[in-house]
Structure formats: structure tokens, C-alpha cells
Structure 1
Amino acid sequence: MSSNVPVPAATADRSEQPSGPRQLTVLLYSDDSATRDAVRVGVGRRPAKDVEIVAWRECATAAAVIDAVEKEHYDLLILDGEAVPMGGLGLTRQLKNEIENCPKVLVLTGRAADGWLASWSMAEAAVPHPLDPLALCNTIATLARQD
């Protein structure tokens, strides 16, 4: 005699259950240390319940960014569009054209109306200055959840 006992959904397929927060390594570029500090402090280690930043790498020059991206793996690049002498928008476009499997890029634009520049640069997302910590966290979490 066989029994058809349904398997509870919670135990039917364990592969669909979350295995913890998504862990990100982030490279942050700005020539302005105050901007870098504002991003790191505003985002913290947990921009969302399901997203954790396990490592930050800060760069103050475009050359340092290019070198780091060529040598190490990052899940997300946050590039300041207002950096000088090379802004994050031009740097994003260069990285997207030159680096195979370039990480996702979040650019910090000078103003909300500069969203079209972020599209031109091939960045996946943009957050305008003045930086809003909630907008940064939400944008980072959204990018982290995309596969």
C-alpha cells in the first residue's frame, strides 16, 4: 500500500532557498576623499537586508581604477562623474569598451538631468549629486540582485 503524501514546499527544492546575503566587492573612484567617505558611510556594509559589501577598494585616479579592474575581480564599480581630470562617465565608457566582462557600474552624476550621460557611458545605473544614502543603497541593492 503506497501513500501519496505531499512534500511541503519548503523542503521540496532546497536549491531555491536563499543561502545568505549577496556579497559584493566594490571599487569606489573619486578624486575627492569627501565624496568617497560620503559613499562609504552612506552605504555602510549592508545596503539592504539581502546585500552585503564585504570589501571596499578606493581609488583616487583613473589609472588606479584601470589597473585594479585589470588585476582583480569586483562585483560593482562606483565611479564619480565629477572626478577630475578624468570623470567617471568617460572612464565608464572606456572600461566597458576595453575590459572583457566589465563589472556593473554605478556612476555618480553632477545632477539628475545628467542621466543621459550615464546611458551614453554604458553604466548600468546613476545616482546624482548631492548624494542621497537611501538612493545609493537602493540602487546598489537593485544592481546586486540582477544576474
Structure 2
Amino acid sequence: MAVNDSITAVDLTDSKELAKLVRSFPVRDGEKPWTGKEVREVADELTADIDRLTGELASADAELSNLLRNSGDGAGDDQADSGSSALEREQELALVINTRDMLGQTQRALARIQAGTFGTCESCGNAIGKARVQAFPRATLCVTCKQREERR
């Protein structure tokens, strides 16, 4: 959670600090510049997501540990029971991995706010688009670069 802790370096409730920070956030042609209020709302949403995902991850990790611990207790289980248990473990593992990935993306989005690079495409350096970032704050690529990436 080091990323979450580092966000306090720029006090998002301090209007002057926030005003300096949001000037560095790019916007596409025709979009209005970011406001401190908009950035605060995104940061609050990301912080709430981090809290939620951390709780989900702890729960999913505990469930996975329980499944793995009990995986050898199947003396007398038939093949169908073993297969069902294996499938359940795989699904729980996929859930844990997905939650960890989402948590990492959320922490990186909060770090981009801190660094003043929020809303900048990591591939081409252009603006991602304010509406896109507001809808999906974890976005790191503009639509063009994302489409290019998905075609590969």
C-alpha cells in the first residue's frame, strides 16, 4: 500500500497544491481543463476502490488458503469430487489474481495523480481523454493506442 500512503504528499484538499497539480493533466481538444474538484472526486473513488479491493483480496486469499489446505483431505473422494475441487481452486485462484491486478492498477492510477501524469497516455504521451479517464480512472492508454494494443 505504499502508493496509497504516498498520495498524502500532495494534499488533495489543499486547493493551491491541487490547482498546481491539475495544470499538468492533459485534455483532448474541445475538453475543458481538469478542476481540483474533479480530480478530488477521482482520487476519492480510487481510494475507496483500494479499500474495497484490499478487503476482497484478504477474503479471497483466505478462501484460497482454505481450499488449498483442504485439498488433500479427500481420502475416498472419487474422480468427480477431485475434479470439482480442482476447478473450485482454479476459480478462486483466478479471482485472487484478478483482484490483485485490479488493486495494482488502482494504486498506479492514484500514483499517476500524485506524479502529475494522470490522463497522459503511457504509449504516445497524448491526452487519454477526460471523459474516458472519468469513466475508467485506471485507463493508461488513449483510445487509439488501446485499439492498436488489442489488435496485436
TM value normalised by structure 1: 0.28
TM value normalised by structure 2: 0.27
With a CA cutoff of 8 Å and minimum separation of 6, indicate the structure with the bigger relative contact order: 2
Structure with greater Cα Rg:
2
Higher share of residues assigned strand: 1
